[in-house]
Amino acid sequence: MAPRTFPSYKIYRDNRGEYRWTYEASNGRTIAVSSEGYVTKPDCMNGINLMKSSYASPVFDNTAAYV
């Protein structure tokens, strides 16, 4: 197995045996996690691909109302 590089996604199985993912930054810190467990690994990979495709999403700044 090749050594892990960062940033990267990590797939693991939770206590219920479901697949989950975490996204870890270049410093190794977790910055995003799957909000649900997936029954199959391909479903988990699809969740990662959905996350990857949302990178170009707009940012809505709600803090302007507090200035």
Dump pLDDT digits (tens) for 2-28: 888 899 999 999 999 999 999 999 999
- Tell me how many domains the chain contains: 1
Domain span at 8: 1-53
Q: What is the CATH number of the domain that holds 25?
A: 3.30.160.160
What distance, in Å, lies between the first and last C-alpha atoms of the chain? 51
Residue 39 lies in a domain: yes
Return the pLDDT at 43. 97
What distance in Å separates the CA atoms of residue 35 and residue 31, rounded to the nearest whole number? 13
Residue 30 lies in a domain: yes
Residue 67 lies in a domain: no
Residue 23 lies in a domain: yes
What distance in Å separates the CA atoms of residue 32 and residue 26, rounded to the nearest whole number? 13
Residue 64 lies in a domain: no
Dump pLDDT digits (tens) for 30-43: 999 999 999 999 99
Residue 59 lies in a domain: no
